[in-house]
Amino acid sequence: MFRYALLALSLVPVSAASAQPAAPSAIDAAAARASLVGAWEGELAYLDYSANRWFGIPVKTRIIDQGDGATMLRIADFDDGPKVGNVRITTGELFDEKASTVAVATFRKGRSVEVMTYAVRIDPASRDATHWTMIEETRATDDNRPATLRLTTVRDGDKVETLKEVDFLDDDKSDWLTRNRTRLTRVGD
């Protein structure tokens, strides 16, 4: 049920380029990403479409800077129920400031390694290191269908929320389907 939780836990953001040139943001993607370093706790939730409501479980995430201004590790732990038990997802991320991308490799026991590269941008309305919106997009598969994946991360002080949305490419629609979200609060450095 939390097959897609991995992406939501990544907390990385990007969005499609607009037709109009955007005013420069008060913060760039490197600074926004660096502001996530530390310990976080909260909820990983998925939207149950039949009930039209969110269902969530507690999650703890630690984001560790690797000291080069580009590489980070994310370690997320959650309990995925009695059949699966405790889950640890470790994600390595490499940010390329010139290309405005982040390469992500995700490791989870019992699963194949997932590797993706997201285009990343900061919303120009972002104010500072603790008040910003980052959008990440990539082409991949979701539910065994070709899709564009979008992660939107909003940081507001000591709170951060990442929303994962999917737009399937094998239909004639341009509709974003909400997959999951992670809401976290900073609990330490």
Q: What is the pLDDT of residues 103-157, one digit of tens each?
A: 999 999 999 999 999 999 999 999 999 999 999 999 999 989 999 999 999 999 9
CA 1 – CA 3 distance, rounded (Å): 6
Paired with 134 in beta bridges are 153
Position 166 scores a pLDDT of 96
Assigned token pair, 126: 């972002």
Number of Cα atoms under 13 Å in the Cβ half of residue 129: 7
CA distances from 45 to 56, 89, 100, 102, 139 (A): 4, 16, 28, 24, 23
Is residue 8 helix, strand or coil?
helix
Closest-CA residue to 159 (of 126, 128, 182): 182
For the chain, percent of residues with pLDDT exceeding 90: 77
- Side chain identity at residue 117, one-letter code: T
CB atoms within 10 A of CB 139: 13
